[in-house]
Amino acid sequence: MLLRQVFDPYLAQYAYLVGCQKTGEALIIDPERDVDQYRKLAAENNLRITAVAETHIHADFVSGAQEFAKDSSVHIYLSAEGGPEWSYRWPGDRPNTHLVRDGETFMVGKIRVEVVHTPGHTPEHISFLVTDLGGGANEPIALATGDFLFVGDVGRPDLLESAAGVKNAMEPSARTLRESLLKRLQPYGDFLQILPAHGAGSACGKSLGAVPTTTLGYERRFNSPFKLALQDGEAFVKDILQGQPDPPLYFATMKRVNRDGIAVTGTVPRPKHLTPEECSQLASDVTVQILDTRVAREEYDAGHLPRSITAPLRTPFFSNAAGSFIDQNDKIALVVEDSVDAELATTQLYRIGFDKVVGWLSVGEARSAGLLTDRTERINFPSFDPAKALTEGEIIDVRTTAEHHQGHLEGAHSLPYTRMKRSLESLPRDRPLFVHCASGKRASLATSFLRAHGFNAVHVDGAYTDCGMSCTAR
């Protein structure tokens, strides 16, 4: 048996290749939409992909199962445990797509894969128990846990309500998750490897570890939420529902397209390299969203295309900004450092369901053509006077709701940047908005978005703690 983990650092997402070296067959668990990366990995290891399995209807990326399903030689295994609302609809009557339930098994060469229903994060969630029969094993070596059990954390049970809008689902889901943790893992030994679908930086939990894999025994000893679930059900429910990060708005779209279907494209689209004249025309087209992918927020503030939104590439903020600020069907123009960044940005957008990238222009080309004409007013926290700001306008705190509750500027409005788009109508357009977070990064994203929509937004940059005692007012 061969096992490989495939890591997307920008979405903190893990997929897995499980290969039978005796027969040359391979299984991919929880693939992203750009499936060529898995085909390449399989070929490099003299394997062919014959099966794809998905732990649940994902909220943070477009699954690659639909792309693989167009190949009739690849068998797709999806959960049949979700009930009417969370049953897959896109497979239709495809003969190579199988809806599986708890206890069912399938083979990938000499490797047996057993389905374990592990609800709580979502109703349909399943995990995959892997046993290497070809290697002589009669006990499983690993459990692919999806968003059920992580390194140092467990899956958040609030997303059906907080992201997908299912009312009154949080507490029942938390209790179901606790039941799954209590009963579904009990039969297995401490040596069982745990293969999670996410690591540190994912919004699918609040304290995920940065170690890529773990064992069940280690998590039994040192995973605080897991231990609490085993000891005190009421305390677990209260704890797991507190402090979860506010989910980006695109999570609801991902739930829908992964359940109902999305266009199968075969590959990541390749956007056009724009001329400065073409980019200038697009900048004046209100139907086009412009993403500036520079990482240095100081450079963006000093000069950028009018109406552009900063979305720093090679960071988790890129997907969060794009997914929170623009719609799936919007046309997108990119401002990037070079063609390599244009390809990466397009791939990352494709992974979260944004297919309409109309083109890209380099920062150097835009600067030489005199297109970086807009500037963002910026105040560093040591120079920021909150009391004065409240007399002139409003203070907008774009940190998470949990951060705001822990301490905030007196009079500041809590408006997490990942949910801001829904609240634009509540914000005044006749007064300045002083936008801050904890370090200046999230505030930069939110300020650019507000300015792109015509608000007089000021970027309050730097560390929140540099503002003095007034920053800890509750």
Using pLDDT thresholds of 50, 70 and 90, give the confidence band for residue 84.
confident
Are the beta carbons of 78 and 125 closer than 8 angstroms?
A: no
Report which residue type is found at 302. Answer: A
Report which residue type is found at 327. Answer: D
Question: Is CATH 3.60.15.10 the classification given to domain 2-260?
Answer: yes
Quote the pLDDT of residue 474.
45
Q: Which one is the CATH code of 378-472: 3.40.50.1970, 3.40.50.150, 3.40.250.10, 3.30.70.260?
A: 3.40.250.10
Quote the pLDDT of residue 465.
86
Given a cut of 70, is residue 469 above it in pLDDT?
no
- 146-162 confidence digits (pLDDT tens): 999 999 999 999 998 99
Among 309-313, 331-335, 402-406, 439-443, the minimum mean pLDDT is found in 402-406
CA 175, 177, 180: angle at the middle one, nearest 5? 115
Are the beta carbons of 50 and 26 closer than 8 angstroms?
A: yes
For the domain 276-368, what is the CATH code? 3.40.250.10
Given a cut of 50, is residue 127 above it in pLDDT?
yes
**Where do the H-state alpha helices sit in 286-358?**
297-302, 316-325, 339-351
Return residue ranges of the chain for CATH 3.40.250.10. Answer: 276-368, 378-472
Question: Residue 377: is it exposed, middle or buried by C-beta count within 10 angstroms (0-12/13-18/19+)?
Answer: middle
Mean pLDDT of the chain: 95
Using pLDDT thresholds of 50, 70 and 90, give the confidence band for residue 471.
low
Are the beta carbons of 121 and 155 closer than 8 angstroms?
A: yes
Structure tokens given for 162: 């907080």
- Cβ neighbours, 10 Å, residue 461: 25
Return residue ranges of the chain for CATH 3.60.15.10. Answer: 2-260
Q: What is the mean pLDDT of residues 414-440?
A: 96
- 342-364 confidence digits (pLDDT tens): 999 999 999 999 999 999 999 99
């552009």: which residue's tokens? Answer: 308
Whole-angstrom distance, CA of residue 159 vs CA of residue 211:
24
